[in-house]
Amino acid sequence: MVGQYIRESEKINNTFEGRYLNLGTSRSIDEIGKGGIIKLWRYFVLLWKTAYTVLSFRPNLVYLTLTSKGGGFYKDALVAIKAKALGVKMVYHFHNKGVRCHQDKWLDNLLYKMVFKNADVILLSEHLYPDIQKYVPKNRVHICPNGIPEIVPGSKFNIQKESNKPVEILFLSNLIKSKGVFVLLEACKILKQKGLDFHCTYVGGEGDISAEQLQQNIKKTGLAAEVHYAGKKYGADKSAEFSKADFFVHPSLNDCFPLVLLEAMQFSLPIVSTYEGGIPGIVEKDKTGFLVPQNDAVALAEKLELLIKDPVLRKEMGEFGRKKYEAEFTLAAFETRFRTILKELVK
Protein backbone atom coordinates (compact mmCIF):
# COMPACT_ATOMS: atom_id res chain seq x y z
CA MET A 1 0.00 0.00 0.00
CA VAL A 2 2.76 2.47 0.95
CA GLY A 3 4.71 1.51 -2.18
CA GLN A 4 1.67 2.43 -4.24
CA TYR A 5 1.44 5.79 -2.46
CA ILE A 6 5.09 6.46 -3.35
CA ARG A 7 4.67 5.49 -6.98
CA GLU A 8 1.57 7.70 -7.38
CA SER A 9 2.91 10.68 -5.41
CA GLU A 10 3.25 13.85 -7.52
CA LYS A 11 5.37 15.45 -4.79
CA ILE A 12 7.94 12.63 -5.00
CA ASN A 13 7.83 11.96 -8.73
CA ASN A 14 8.09 15.64 -9.64
CA THR A 15 11.29 15.84 -7.60
CA PHE A 16 13.11 12.79 -8.95
CA GLU A 17 13.43 11.02 -12.26
CA GLY A 18 12.85 7.39 -11.48
CA ARG A 19 12.48 3.94 -12.96
CA TYR A 20 10.28 1.35 -11.30
CA LEU A 21 10.83 -2.40 -11.29
CA ASN A 22 8.23 -4.80 -9.92
CA LEU A 23 10.15 -7.35 -7.84
CA GLY A 24 7.21 -9.73 -7.57
CA THR A 25 7.34 -13.12 -9.24
CA SER A 26 3.69 -14.01 -8.64
CA ARG A 27 1.07 -13.06 -11.21
CA SER A 28 -1.97 -13.95 -9.10
CA ILE A 29 -2.95 -14.43 -5.45
CA ASP A 30 -2.94 -18.19 -5.98
CA GLU A 31 0.76 -18.12 -6.90
CA ILE A 32 1.88 -16.31 -3.73
CA GLY A 33 3.99 -18.54 -1.51
CA LYS A 34 4.39 -21.23 -4.17
CA GLY A 35 7.48 -22.19 -6.15
CA GLY A 36 7.88 -23.67 -9.61
CA ILE A 37 10.00 -23.42 -12.73
CA ILE A 38 7.97 -20.54 -14.16
CA LYS A 39 8.50 -18.40 -11.06
CA LEU A 40 12.19 -19.28 -11.02
CA TRP A 41 12.44 -18.17 -14.65
CA ARG A 42 10.66 -14.91 -13.80
CA TYR A 43 13.18 -14.34 -11.03
CA PHE A 44 16.15 -14.76 -13.37
CA VAL A 45 14.47 -12.32 -15.76
CA LEU A 46 14.09 -9.92 -12.84
CA LEU A 47 17.81 -10.15 -12.05
CA TRP A 48 18.60 -9.42 -15.70
CA LYS A 49 16.19 -6.44 -15.71
CA THR A 50 17.84 -5.10 -12.57
CA ALA A 51 21.29 -5.21 -14.15
CA TYR A 52 20.05 -3.75 -17.46
CA THR A 53 18.16 -0.90 -15.78
CA VAL A 54 21.08 0.03 -13.52
CA LEU A 55 23.57 -0.01 -16.40
CA SER A 56 21.36 1.91 -18.83
CA PHE A 57 19.78 4.40 -16.42
CA ARG A 58 22.80 4.90 -14.11
CA PRO A 59 20.79 6.01 -11.06
CA ASN A 60 22.25 8.03 -8.20
CA LEU A 61 20.35 5.81 -5.80
CA VAL A 62 18.62 2.43 -5.84
CA TYR A 63 15.65 2.20 -3.46
CA LEU A 64 14.50 -1.27 -2.42
CA THR A 65 11.76 -2.35 -0.01
CA LEU A 66 13.71 -5.19 1.53
CA THR A 67 12.05 -8.19 3.13
CA SER A 68 13.72 -8.84 6.48
CA LYS A 69 13.76 -12.63 6.67
CA GLY A 70 12.87 -15.95 5.09
CA GLY A 71 12.49 -16.75 1.41
CA GLY A 72 11.50 -13.19 0.60
CA PHE A 73 14.77 -11.94 2.04
CA TYR A 74 16.86 -14.41 0.03
CA LYS A 75 15.08 -13.28 -3.13
CA ASP A 76 15.51 -9.59 -2.36
CA ALA A 77 19.10 -10.05 -1.15
CA LEU A 78 20.29 -11.32 -4.54
CA VAL A 79 18.65 -8.36 -6.26
CA ALA A 80 20.38 -6.00 -3.81
CA ILE A 81 23.76 -7.71 -4.18
CA LYS A 82 23.40 -7.59 -7.97
CA ALA A 83 22.74 -3.83 -7.86
CA LYS A 84 25.54 -3.19 -5.36
CA ALA A 85 28.00 -5.07 -7.58
CA LEU A 86 27.28 -2.53 -10.29
CA GLY A 87 28.52 0.25 -8.01
CA VAL A 88 25.30 2.08 -7.12
CA LYS A 89 24.30 3.55 -3.76
CA MET A 90 21.57 1.57 -1.98
CA VAL A 91 18.82 2.47 0.46
CA TYR A 92 16.47 -0.12 1.95
CA HIS A 93 13.01 0.77 3.20
CA PHE A 94 11.80 -1.67 5.87
CA HIS A 95 8.07 -2.21 6.30
CA ASN A 96 8.71 -5.33 8.35
CA LYS A 97 11.11 -6.63 10.97
CA GLY A 98 12.84 -9.90 11.85
CA VAL A 99 16.55 -9.43 11.09
CA ARG A 100 17.50 -9.88 14.74
CA CYS A 101 15.64 -13.20 14.88
CA HIS A 102 17.71 -14.60 11.98
CA GLN A 103 21.10 -12.90 12.42
CA ASP A 104 22.64 -15.91 14.18
CA LYS A 105 22.07 -18.20 11.19
CA TRP A 106 25.29 -18.41 9.20
CA LEU A 107 23.76 -17.89 5.75
CA ASP A 108 21.48 -15.08 6.86
CA ASN A 109 24.33 -13.41 8.75
CA LEU A 110 26.56 -13.58 5.67
CA LEU A 111 23.88 -12.13 3.41
CA TYR A 112 22.96 -9.41 5.91
CA LYS A 113 26.61 -8.32 6.01
CA MET A 114 26.78 -8.17 2.22
CA VAL A 115 23.45 -6.42 1.77
CA PHE A 116 23.84 -3.81 4.51
CA LYS A 117 27.49 -2.92 3.88
CA ASN A 118 27.73 0.84 3.10
CA ALA A 119 23.96 0.99 2.58
CA ASP A 120 21.40 3.32 4.16
CA VAL A 121 18.18 2.16 5.77
CA ILE A 122 14.79 3.83 6.18
CA LEU A 123 12.89 2.67 9.28
CA LEU A 124 9.31 3.44 10.25
CA SER A 125 10.24 4.18 13.86
CA GLU A 126 13.33 4.63 16.01
CA HIS A 127 11.94 1.79 18.14
CA LEU A 128 12.72 -0.60 15.27
CA TYR A 129 16.44 0.19 15.17
CA PRO A 130 17.48 -2.69 17.51
CA ASP A 131 16.36 -5.09 14.76
CA ILE A 132 19.22 -4.00 12.46
CA GLN A 133 21.75 -2.44 14.82
CA LYS A 134 24.22 -5.33 14.38
CA TYR A 135 24.72 -4.34 10.73
CA VAL A 136 23.84 -0.65 10.31
CA PRO A 137 25.30 2.31 12.28
CA LYS A 138 22.82 4.95 13.40
CA ASN A 139 24.28 7.56 11.06
CA ARG A 140 23.00 5.50 8.12
CA VAL A 141 19.48 5.16 9.52
CA HIS A 142 16.63 7.50 8.54
CA ILE A 143 13.30 7.53 10.38
CA CYS A 144 10.21 7.94 8.22
CA PRO A 145 6.87 6.95 9.80
CA ASN A 146 4.19 5.92 7.35
CA GLY A 147 1.19 8.11 6.62
CA ILE A 148 -2.25 7.38 5.24
CA PRO A 149 -4.78 9.42 3.25
CA GLU A 150 -7.89 10.85 4.85
CA ILE A 151 -10.86 8.52 4.57
CA VAL A 152 -13.17 11.55 4.48
CA PRO A 153 -11.08 14.72 3.94
CA GLY A 154 -11.60 17.43 6.53
CA SER A 155 -13.78 15.39 8.87
CA LYS A 156 -12.82 15.29 12.56
CA PHE A 157 -15.00 12.28 13.33
CA ASN A 158 -15.86 13.67 16.78
CA ILE A 159 -19.25 11.93 16.74
CA GLN A 160 -21.28 12.17 19.95
CA LYS A 161 -22.16 8.68 21.20
CA GLU A 162 -25.45 7.92 22.95
CA SER A 163 -24.74 7.84 26.69
CA ASN A 164 -27.32 5.16 27.46
CA LYS A 165 -25.60 2.55 25.27
CA PRO A 166 -22.76 0.21 26.33
CA VAL A 167 -19.27 1.46 25.59
CA GLU A 168 -18.18 0.16 22.18
CA ILE A 169 -14.72 -1.46 21.91
CA LEU A 170 -13.36 -2.14 18.41
CA PHE A 171 -10.77 -4.71 17.33
CA LEU A 172 -9.95 -4.56 13.61
CA SER A 173 -7.44 -7.00 12.19
CA ASN A 174 -7.38 -10.43 10.64
CA LEU A 175 -8.05 -13.24 13.10
CA ILE A 176 -4.43 -14.09 13.85
CA LYS A 177 -3.16 -15.26 17.24
CA SER A 178 -0.22 -12.86 17.07
CA LYS A 179 -2.67 -9.94 16.94
CA GLY A 180 -3.83 -10.80 20.45
CA VAL A 181 -7.28 -12.10 19.51
CA PHE A 182 -7.55 -14.44 22.49
CA VAL A 183 -5.78 -12.03 24.87
CA LEU A 184 -8.53 -9.50 24.23
CA LEU A 185 -11.18 -12.18 24.74
CA GLU A 186 -9.68 -13.04 28.12
CA ALA A 187 -9.61 -9.34 29.04
CA CYS A 188 -13.29 -9.05 28.08
CA LYS A 189 -14.05 -11.97 30.40
CA ILE A 190 -12.39 -10.05 33.26
CA LEU A 191 -14.43 -6.94 32.42
CA LYS A 192 -17.67 -8.92 32.52
CA GLN A 193 -16.74 -10.48 35.86
CA LYS A 194 -16.38 -6.93 37.19
CA GLY A 195 -19.90 -6.10 36.02
CA LEU A 196 -18.85 -3.47 33.47
CA ASP A 197 -21.24 -2.50 30.68
CA PHE A 198 -19.48 -2.82 27.32
CA HIS A 199 -19.70 -4.33 23.86
CA CYS A 200 -16.70 -5.51 21.84
CA THR A 201 -16.74 -5.99 18.06
CA TYR A 202 -14.15 -8.04 16.21
CA VAL A 203 -13.75 -7.04 12.55
CA GLY A 204 -11.45 -8.88 10.13
CA GLY A 205 -10.97 -11.88 7.91
CA GLU A 206 -10.03 -15.37 9.01
CA GLY A 207 -6.34 -16.11 9.55
CA ASP A 208 -4.82 -18.86 11.66
CA ILE A 209 -8.01 -18.55 13.73
CA SER A 210 -11.23 -19.43 11.94
CA ALA A 211 -14.53 -17.66 12.50
CA GLU A 212 -15.86 -20.89 13.99
CA GLN A 213 -12.96 -21.10 16.48
CA LEU A 214 -13.53 -17.52 17.56
CA GLN A 215 -17.27 -18.08 18.00
CA GLN A 216 -16.61 -21.23 20.03
CA ASN A 217 -14.26 -19.32 22.32
CA ILE A 218 -16.77 -16.49 22.70
CA LYS A 219 -19.40 -18.98 23.88
CA LYS A 220 -16.90 -20.87 26.04
CA THR A 221 -15.98 -17.71 27.93
CA GLY A 222 -19.64 -16.73 28.36
CA LEU A 223 -19.35 -13.58 26.27
CA ALA A 224 -22.04 -14.16 23.64
CA ALA A 225 -23.92 -11.02 24.71
CA GLU A 226 -20.83 -8.82 24.96
CA VAL A 227 -18.63 -9.87 22.03
CA HIS A 228 -19.60 -9.95 18.36
CA TYR A 229 -17.66 -11.07 15.29
CA ALA A 230 -18.67 -8.91 12.31
CA GLY A 231 -16.46 -10.50 9.63
CA LYS A 232 -14.59 -8.52 7.00
CA LYS A 233 -15.46 -4.88 6.43
CA TYR A 234 -14.33 -2.57 3.64
CA GLY A 235 -14.91 1.03 2.58
CA ALA A 236 -17.96 2.70 4.10
CA ASP A 237 -18.77 -0.38 6.20
CA LYS A 238 -15.31 -0.29 7.76
CA SER A 239 -15.61 3.45 8.41
CA ALA A 240 -18.96 2.83 10.09
CA GLU A 241 -17.31 0.46 12.55
CA PHE A 242 -14.73 3.11 13.47
CA SER A 243 -17.46 5.75 13.75
CA LYS A 244 -19.57 3.87 16.27
CA ALA A 245 -16.61 2.78 18.43
CA ASP A 246 -15.63 4.56 21.65
CA PHE A 247 -12.06 3.29 21.61
CA PHE A 248 -9.77 0.94 19.72
CA VAL A 249 -7.79 -2.03 21.01
CA HIS A 250 -4.85 -3.74 19.32
CA PRO A 251 -3.13 -6.14 21.79
CA SER A 252 -0.52 -7.26 19.26
CA LEU A 253 2.21 -9.80 19.98
CA ASN A 254 4.05 -9.26 16.70
CA ASP A 255 3.89 -6.09 14.62
CA CYS A 256 6.01 -3.50 12.86
CA PHE A 257 3.98 -0.34 12.23
CA PRO A 258 0.25 -1.17 12.05
CA LEU A 259 -1.53 1.33 9.82
CA VAL A 260 -4.84 0.44 11.46
CA LEU A 261 -3.73 2.50 14.47
CA LEU A 262 -3.41 5.55 12.23
CA GLU A 263 -6.93 4.89 10.95
CA ALA A 264 -8.23 4.76 14.51
CA MET A 265 -6.53 8.09 15.26
CA GLN A 266 -8.26 9.61 12.22
CA PHE A 267 -11.55 8.79 13.91
CA SER A 268 -10.42 10.39 17.20
CA LEU A 269 -10.34 7.06 18.99
CA PRO A 270 -8.11 6.46 22.01
CA ILE A 271 -6.01 3.31 21.58
CA VAL A 272 -4.98 0.48 23.87
CA SER A 273 -2.07 -1.47 22.41
CA THR A 274 1.25 -3.09 23.37
CA TYR A 275 4.97 -2.35 23.57
CA GLU A 276 5.65 -3.98 20.21
CA GLY A 277 7.61 -2.92 17.15
CA GLY A 278 7.01 0.70 16.20
CA ILE A 279 3.75 0.99 18.17
CA PRO A 280 5.28 3.12 20.98
CA GLY A 281 6.08 5.69 18.28
CA ILE A 282 2.41 5.81 17.24
CA VAL A 283 0.58 5.63 20.55
CA GLU A 284 1.76 8.34 22.92
CA LYS A 285 1.53 6.59 26.28
CA ASP A 286 -1.12 8.00 28.65
CA LYS A 287 -1.88 10.82 26.19
CA THR A 288 -3.37 9.29 23.02
CA GLY A 289 -3.91 5.90 24.62
CA PHE A 290 -2.38 3.20 26.77
CA LEU A 291 0.36 0.64 26.20
CA VAL A 292 0.42 -2.67 28.09
CA PRO A 293 2.80 -5.64 28.20
CA GLN A 294 2.19 -8.30 25.56
CA ASN A 295 0.05 -11.31 26.36
CA ASP A 296 -1.14 -9.76 29.63
CA ALA A 297 -4.94 -9.94 29.76
CA VAL A 298 -5.06 -8.52 33.31
CA ALA A 299 -3.07 -5.38 32.39
CA LEU A 300 -5.15 -5.01 29.23
CA ALA A 301 -8.40 -5.29 31.16
CA GLU A 302 -7.21 -2.62 33.64
CA LYS A 303 -6.70 -0.07 30.85
CA LEU A 304 -9.94 -1.02 29.11
CA GLU A 305 -11.75 -0.53 32.42
CA LEU A 306 -10.31 2.98 32.78
CA LEU A 307 -11.63 3.98 29.37
CA ILE A 308 -15.02 2.31 29.91
CA LYS A 309 -15.56 4.25 33.14
CA ASP A 310 -14.23 7.64 32.01
CA PRO A 311 -15.90 9.26 28.96
CA VAL A 312 -13.98 12.51 29.52
CA LEU A 313 -10.66 10.63 29.33
CA ARG A 314 -11.83 8.90 26.15
CA LYS A 315 -12.67 12.25 24.56
CA GLU A 316 -9.38 13.88 25.59
CA MET A 317 -7.24 10.98 24.40
CA GLY A 318 -9.17 10.75 21.16
CA GLU A 319 -8.67 14.45 20.45
CA PHE A 320 -4.95 14.20 21.18
CA GLY A 321 -4.77 11.20 18.85
CA ARG A 322 -6.50 13.09 16.06
CA LYS A 323 -4.07 16.01 16.46
CA LYS A 324 -1.10 13.63 16.43
CA TYR A 325 -2.41 12.03 13.23
CA GLU A 326 -2.82 15.44 11.57
CA ALA A 327 0.68 16.52 12.61
CA GLU A 328 2.64 13.33 11.91
CA PHE A 329 0.76 10.61 10.05
CA THR A 330 -1.03 12.15 7.08
CA LEU A 331 -0.01 11.02 3.61
CA ALA A 332 1.31 14.54 2.89
CA ALA A 333 3.54 14.42 6.00
CA PHE A 334 4.91 11.05 4.90
CA GLU A 335 5.59 12.27 1.35
CA THR A 336 7.49 15.30 2.67
CA ARG A 337 9.63 13.19 5.04
CA PHE A 338 10.33 10.59 2.38
CA ARG A 339 11.28 13.17 -0.24
CA THR A 340 13.62 14.94 2.21
CA ILE A 341 15.42 11.67 2.97
CA LEU A 342 15.89 10.84 -0.71
CA LYS A 343 17.18 14.36 -1.39
CA GLU A 344 19.81 13.91 1.30
CA LEU A 345 20.85 10.52 -0.10
CA VAL A 346 21.30 11.64 -3.72
CA LYS A 347 23.51 14.63 -2.87
What range does the domain containing 194 cover?
167-328
Q: What is the CATH number of the domain that holds 187?
A: 3.40.50.2000
Q: Is pLDDT at 301 greater than 70 in this prediction?
A: yes
Q: Does some domain include residue 161?
A: no
Does 178 lie in the same domain as 107?
no
Confidence label for 7 from pLDDT (cuts 50, 70 and 90): confident
Is residue 131 situated within a structural domain? yes
Q: Is residue 160 part of a domain?
A: no
Q: Is residue 281 part of a domain?
A: yes
Residue 33's domain is classified under what CATH number? 3.40.50
Is residue 101 within 8 Å of 130, Cβ to Cβ? no
Question: Under DSSP, is residue 150 helix (H, G, I), strand (E, B) or coil?
Answer: coil
> Which percentage of the chain shows pLDDT scores above 90?
82
Average pLDDT over residues 98-125: 97
pLDDT at 311 > cutoff 90: yes
Q: How far, in whole angstroms, is CA 127 from its chain's centroid?
A: 13
Do residues 101 and 237 both lie within one domain? no
In the chain, % of residues over pLDDT 70: 94
The b/e string for 133-166 (b: 16+ C-beta within 10 A; e otherwise) is eebbeeeebbbbbbbbeebeeeeebeeeeeeeee
Q: Do residues 172 and 266 make contact, with C-beta atoms less than 8 angstroms apart?
A: no
Same-domain check for residues 201 and 315:
yes
Residue 157, in any domain of the structure: no
Query: Is the same domain home to 78 and 176?
Result: no
- Note the pLDDT of residue 153: 55
Instruction: Indicate whether 154 belongs to any domain.
Output: no
Q: What is the pLDDT of residues 35-78, one digit of tens each?
A: 678 878 888 888 898 999 999 999 999 999 999 999 889 999 99
Other beta carbons less than 10 A from residue 327's beta carbon = 9
Residues 95 and 241 in one domain: no
Q: Map residue 244 onto helix, strand or coil.
A: helix
Please indicate, yes or no, whether residues 9 and 120 belong to a single structural domain of this protein: yes
Q: Is residue 116 part of a domain?
A: yes
Domain count, the chain: 2
Residues 55 and 182 occupy one common structural domain = no
Same-domain pairing of 102 and 223:
no
215 and 171 in a common domain: yes
Per-residue pLDDT band for 92 (boundaries 50, 70, 90) equals very high
Closest CA to 339 of 122, 125, 119: 122
Residues 123, 6, single domain; the answer is yes
Task: Tell me, yes or no, whether 312 and 188 share the same domain.
Answer: yes
Question: What pTM, to 2 d.p., does this model score?
Answer: 0.91
pLDDT at 151: 80
Q: What is the per-residue pLDDT across 73-88, written as a single tens digit (0 to 9) for each? A: 999 999 999 999 999 9
Residue 18: half-sphere exposure toward Cβ, Cα within 13 Å = 20
- Rg over alpha carbons for the chain, rounded to the nearest Å, is 22
pLDDT value of residue 232: 95
Are both 320 and 187 inside the same structural domain?
Answer: yes
**Residue 152 is assigned to a structural domain of this protein:** no
Query: Which of the four pLDDT bands, split at 50, 70 and 90, describes residue 2?
Result: confident
List, for residues 202-219, the tens digit of each pLDDT value: 999 999 999 999 999 999
Band of the pLDDT at 117, cuts 50, 70, 90? very high
pLDDT, position 4: 86
